[in-house]
Structures are given as C-alpha cells and as structure tokens.
Amino acid sequence: MRRFEEKAVLITGGGGGIGAAAARQFASEGAQIVLLDQALDGLAQTAAECRERGSPQVVEYGVSQTDAAAVAEAVEEAWAACGRIDVLFANAGYGKLAPFLSLSAPDWNRHVEVNLTGTFHVCQEVARRMAADRGGGAIVLNASSGAAVYADQLSAYCATKAAVRMLAIGMASELGVHRIRVNAIMPGVIETGMTAPMLADERHREVLMAETPVGRLGRPGDVASLVCFLASAEAEYITGEAVMIDGGQTIHGHPRWFRLDYGRPHDERWEIGR
C-alpha cells in the first residue's frame, strides 16, 4: 500500500533510530521525504535509503532543532522544494541518565532546549505554514513512555517528554480549526543508539525482558508503523491522543533501570534490578 503518494513528510532526528525507520517506511509508501538532523553521516545514509525505497524526492538539512533560525530556513526551503508539507514527525530528542541530586544545570537545559523548545520551534514553523496553506495536515510528536510513567535517573527526560505530550494535546485543540490533526506517541524501550549503552549491560537487558509482556524489546520499525498510521487517512478521526507503544512495559509501572532500597535512610546506593 502506498498511502503517501503525492505527500511530503518532514522528519526531525531522521539520521538514525526511530526517525530513520519512519523515513524509510514513508518513502516505501511513496512520500517525498524531508530530513532534519545535526548528525550529518546518519542523515546522508537515511537519505540514500529513502531514495532506494522509491521516494520521488529526498532533501536533507544538517540542522539542530535548537537553532530556531536554521529551522525556519530549512522549513521554508523544504516547503518550496516539495510544494507543501503534509506530515510532520517531530521525532528528535535527547536523553541522559543522572540522579536528580547530581543533575547539572547544563544537562537540564539541554533536555529542555532539545526536547521541548526545539520541538516547539519545528511544530510551530510547520503548523503556521499548514494553516496558511489551508490544506490541513497531520503532526506526530515523539514523547516517551516516560511522559506518563516515571523512570529513576531520567527526571529531566521524563519532565520534558511529559511537556511534549501536553504540547501535542494543546496543538490538537488549537489547530483542529485548520484541519490539522496532532497526536503523540509514547515509545517504551526501543533498541536505538540512545539506549544502546544501557542495553549493552546484560543486567539491564534481563530486567527489561522480564518486565516486557510481549517478550522482546521494541524495534524502530515498530514505532515507524504507528507513526505512519497516525499520519495516514486511516487515522483521520484521531487527534489529541498520546499512544503508548511499549510492549506492555508500563502495565505494572515502568521497568526499573536502577533502584534504591528505601529501607536504608540516606543511603543513595543505586542498584540494577526490579
């Protein structure tokens, strides 16, 4: 099925992981692809893969979404190149483990700048043009299962992703009058470059496998399929939703990368385990 023929799709964080998987699937379904990422090597690879899968046009921009001016310029150029943007997948994000008491101000600010402010820049820039064009559109924001269920040592990540979830809901409310649908996705643990350092530790992997009812960790392609569905005409009556895609990991809370023994007062010794 080629659901996106004569459609243009803009994807942030398209240089790898979930963004690259989504780009490949949109390309396979006939879409023109616009890629934004500051990782130039990954960007070029994804662009080549999209062309191999039959995308009629692929354009890429080495842009960080924290640079509002660069984002605006890239969106303007992409809109001109493709005629319009029909779908935005605001996927780019940042995450770093740190206990709350050790979390530095620069690391906190980085989470806010990338996950929240950067996502805002991209979404507003594309949505303004969609609204002015009066052709409607679909926007999907990548939040996280951490937007709904807390994970220790990820306070900055969870806080900013929860904000992204609420941003999507607010956008859906305000942009509906322009026939722009907006939804969020909340992936659980997906095997990507971001999670690779932790998943390399077999103890972490064992904990996660034991807490994932479907019996495996997520793959980027799993999330790409959901994104394409939410962006398609099949989901034209869905907006303002935040869809969990975690293999059931949050049924009983959230798998614990790390844990504390609360029976030991003032003893902040982190352990891996359930």
Give the active site residue among 61, 94, 157, 237: 157
Tokens (6 digits) for 242:
């935040």
**What does each C-alpha distance from 229 to 26, 38, 186, 237, 244 come to in angstroms?**
10, 27, 14, 12, 14
30: left (phi over 0), alpha (psi -120 to 50) or beta: left
Question: How many Cα atoms sit within 13 Å of 114 on the Cβ side?
Answer: 21
Residues facing 245 on adjacent strands: 187
Respond yes or no: is residue 61 known to be catalytic: no
Amino acid at site 26: F
| Residue written as token pair 């095997």 | 191
The answer to whether 140 touches 171, Cβ cutoff 8 Å, is: no
| Residue written as token pair 């879409």 | 31
Residue 112 DSSP symbol = I
Q: Where are the alpha helices (DSSP H) in 54-192?
A: 68-82, 105-111, 119-133, 155-175
Apex 166 CA angle, 161 and 171, nearest 5: 120
**What does each C-alpha distance from 119 to 8, 143, 179, 236 come to in angstroms?**
19, 10, 20, 23
Residues annotated as catalytic are: 157
